[in-house]
Amino acid sequence: MVYWLNSEIEVGGRKTIGLDIPAGADERRVEVVDATPDGGLYFSHGGALTSGRRVKTEHFPKYMKARTKGVIPDFGKWNGLKYVSERFRDIIEKIEPNVHQFVPFQIVASGKEVLADMFFMNICNRLDGMDHERTTLLLARSGMWLPGREVPLNERPANFDPNVKGKFVFNLGQIGDHHLWYDKHSIYGPYLSDQLADSITQADLTGFTLVRGESD
């Protein structure tokens, strides 16, 4: 099975903490280490953090400022940045060691008091994980899976129904033994294996929700 990993804005009925990036920092300046094209989605102009490739870390902020009070979750997002607690990181490292990047930072209060030590997480698996026969979207020239009606007529297969409901179907053979990844043809994600999904669920980590996808 495959799951989408999403963030939640509440934990146990309480809102998660609101954060602000410090002045001068800009996550859109983060770049991939290797920008070699591979037929998938382009990864510049802020897309490095969802590319599934290793990135240069000099533009990650050293801290994030608490804008509102709230629960500090084990998994959270701020624009393109994804952050995790040490517990969340340790589970990923146990299942898929030395693959992903974890960049340390601190969450601080207005008076600079340290509220938590956390890690920005950059996912470093970039896969073509969809079943190309059973997925009911079309792989456009842009390298992205799109609903048929959004693909030019001359690029659609013969007899393709543009009104068919679009759905992803994951190919477990193509995913192999990867546990956390982005799909190079999808703007969605990140995606998790059932093993990783089970591990973070059983650990009672907070701040995330899982959506099950269809697989072969």
pLDDT of residue 206: 97
Q: Using pLDDT thresholds of 50, 70 and 90, give the confidence band for residue 45.
A: low
Q: Where are the domains of the chain?
A: 2-128+170-215
| The model's pTM | 0.93
Distance of CA 209 to the CA centre of its chain: 13
Quick: pLDDT tens for 143-162.
999 998 898 888 888 888 87
What is the identity of the amino acid at 85?
S
Whether a cis peptide bond, with omega within 30° of 0, leads into 190 is yes
- pLDDT per residue as tens digits for the range 93-125: 999 999 999 999 999 998 889 999 999 999 999
Q: What does the alpha-carbon distance between residue 207 and residue 177 come to, in Å, rounded to a whole number?
A: 25
- When pLDDT is cut at 50, 70 and 90, the band that residue 44 belongs to is low
Per-residue pLDDT, 155: 86
174-184 average pLDDT score? 97
**pLDDT at residue 5, rounded to an integer:** 96
pLDDT at 139: 92
Stretch (H or E) spanning 24: none
Q: Report the candidate in 53, 55, 46, 123 with the shortest Cα–Cα distance to residue 84.
A: 123
What is the mean predicted confidence (pLDDT) over 50-58?
95
